[in-house]
Structure 1
Amino acid sequence: MGERLKKITLQEIADQLAISKFAVSRALAGKDGVSEETRTRVTAKALELGYLRAVDVAATRPAIHIIFNDHDPVNSELWMQMQNGIQREAAESGYQVQIHWTAEATSVENIARVSAGVVLVGQHDTATLQVLKAAGKPVVRLGWVLPLEEVDQVTGADHEAGNAIGQYLLERGHRRIGFVHGSRVLRGRMERLFGLREALINQDGASVIEIQFGGDGFAGAFLDLKIEGDMPTALFCAHDALGVHVVSELHRMGLRVPEDISVVGYGDFAAATQISPPLTTVRLPGGDMGIAAFRLLLDRMHGTRYRLPPQRVMLVPKLVERASVKTLTD
């Protein structure tokens, strides 16, 4: 394979992928006896670790690299939808796709060196962003970016969705609406809160109660509201996993959903239909977001027209009405 960039062994690659050294060797040599999926994983890890150089893979199809920072159980279903969208679109355009889970700047540098373009999914630190900028390769981010960050971005219309949920609940007679979340760090969730507030700001007698919980969990924060007599009639949860947890906790406290209190989620993931009652929520077009990210990346790689400044592409979610919201009567 020629001179290596780092003293990485086949065994180290095998250990990281939890497969045999024999499988790694055959995959890199292009021999049979390993699945195409294993061959792709081995090649991606070898590139990430610096075992392969650009000249080692020059004869293969150009590759798009998707880099995840860390495993996130809350967003795993959305991220898989995005990945599938990118892979479908890339296959039709003659590109292969390689997947990486890393926050190491050195690994990102190795990936960028051989990549035709990079899609960053989720949060990434400044070291990763600086490495990619220095590499000069096209980058699209799936997820929130820093203010005025000079990079293309594809995301859902979080603010607009929050506003839509506010209007939906107002139309059903709700005037005291709680927004349930655990952290103010994530921009998308805060945008949902801001949109919700915007919907209620000119409605007489309407208010948003921010229910931000810490170590005591949702139940502790909610019981504090109950003691203070500051009870909402509906709860908008920052994501579906939290919505499922909230419904479970409300049931445990003896409250019925939606008879005693209504609950709305965000995302429309599988769990939203696996509880009773099924959750009213907002469906994020994860697969389409992946497609949009690839198309934007493709345009950056091959566009011959005047190059526009970095773009913010927002795809519109869809309200999915199920059985967790009650219409109040006067």
Structure 2
Amino acid sequence: MAEATRVRVLAAIEELGFVRNEAARTLRKGSGRTLGVIVEDLAGPCAADLVRGVERACDTGGYDIIWCTSDGDPEKERRRLDFLEQQGVSGVIVAPVALDADRVARLRARDIRTVLLDRRMSGTTASSVGVDHRQGGRLATRHLVELGRHDIAFVTTEPEPPPVRQRRGGALQSLGQAGYAPEQVLTIAEQEPTAQAGQRAARRLLEFGTLPTGVFCVDDLLAVGLVNELTRNGVKIPQDVAVVGYGDIAPAATCVVPLTTVRQPRDELGAAAAELLMDEAEGRHLTLAPELVVRDSAS
């Protein structure tokens, strides 16, 4: 191909947003029964249950799955979506990073439906499946109040993704109903939801001199790190400080002090997302209920 012709072709491809359909190109049999899934991290402690739910539903429905990760990177998310378009998937499940309405419309124009995890996107055909995180936050702090814990701290991440903001909003609502003013709630923000960040949060609490009697962590890994570090420093859990986490990941039950937490129905979340795609549903929004699991850290 002449260079001038190649340049014109590439310009046309860019203008039209063309993506080569590898499935059609290779005439692969059964390509219309494949779903794509993009999550931030398949190796994370929350991913295993989600994976089981999606795979169980797809096995029942006779669909195959292409798994992708974005690592929370908008550019990686864009490339993964390009790849899934090329594979000719019939639908995508996305834990969105930078996905916007234009990209959802582009997917739909190629007959690819979208289901979002823990997000809603108005003005699009995208369906969504999420957890009632506001209710989860209310459950956590209500439990601390019912235990008689009057000095409560909140350990979060900065910046807060929408589900975490919802947890904090529900927690503050519950505390407000119990007569707490927002300024009475000590807030500690860490950069990431890890056990190491939880340890740092615990050390920051210890620096205040007077410890809160109750702590709500927006993520179980934060709570696990916090409980372990406080325990190493001679703080008795829950006698001195009651701690509630969020997520009910596997390490929660095996923490040095088994963790009271708010369980997310991740298995059901994954199954529901896959079923919406297989049913070719559009614009449907399902909200699943969290559940308080009481263990030794706040009992």
For normalisation by structure 1, the TM-score amounts to 0.71
SS class of match (2:297): coil
**CA offsets per residue over residues 226-273 of structure 1, 9 Å max, x none?**
555664211111111111111112123321211210111111111011
Cα distance in 2, alignment partners of residues 142 and 230 from structure 1: 40
Instruction: Determine which of 290, 293, 296 is the counterpart of 1:320.
Output: 293
1:106 CA displacement: 4.6
Q: Output the CA distance in 2 between the equivalents of 1:171 and 1:64.
A: 48
* Structure 1 residue corresponding to 2:284, chosen from 311, 322, 329: 311
Tell me which of the two structures has the higher relative contact order, counting C-alpha pairs closer than 8 angstroms and 6 or more residues apart. Answer: 2
Alignment of 1:141-152 (within 5 A): 141-145=116-120, 151-152=126-127
Cα deviation, residue 176, structure 1: 2.2
- Shift in CA distance, 164/144, structure 1 to aligned 2, threshold 3 Å: same
Pair 1:135–1:168, CA change in 2 (3 A): same
Residue number among 257, 260, 267 corresponding to 1:277 in the alignment? 257
Task: Note if contact 1:213-1:221 (Cα within 8 Å) is conserved in structure 2.
Answer: yes
Task: Give the SS at the match of 1:265.
Answer: strand
| Structure 1 unaligned blocks of 5 or more | 1-48, 302-306
Deviation at 1:172, TM superposition (A): 1.1
Alignment of 1:221-260 (within 5 A): 228=208, 231-260=211-240
Alignment of 1:83 onto 2:51: yes
Equivalence map 1:1-330=2 (5 Å): 52-60=22-30, 62-71=32-41, 76-102=44-70, 103=76, 105-113=78-86, 114-121=88-95, 123-126=97-100, 129=104, 131-145=106-120, 151-205=126-180, 207-214=184-191, 217-218=197-198, 228=208, 231-300=211-280, 310-326=283-299
CA contact (8 A) 1:84 1:290 kept: yes
Give the superposition deviation at 1:318: 1.4
Q: Is the 8 A contact 1:62 1:96 kept in 2?
A: no
Q: Structure 2, unaligned stretches of length 5 or more?
A: 1-18, 71-75
> Number of matched residues?
269
Provide TM-score, normalisation by structure 2.
0.78
In the TM superposition, what is the alpha-carbon distance from 1:290 to its structure 2 partner? 1.1
Q: Which residue of 2 aligns with 1:10?
A: none
CA-based RMSD of the aligned residues comes to: 3.0
Are the equivalent residues in 2 in contact too, given 1:239–1:267 (CA < 8 A)? yes
Report the counterpart of residue 10 of structure 2 in structure 1.
none
How far does residue 191 in structure 1 lie from its aligned partner after superposition?
Answer: 0.8
Other structure's SS at 2:45 match: helix
| Distance change >3 Å, CA 233–CA 100, structure 1 → 2 | same
Deviation track 1:51-80 (CA, whole Å, cap 9, x = no partner) reads 93324244226333333254265xx23222
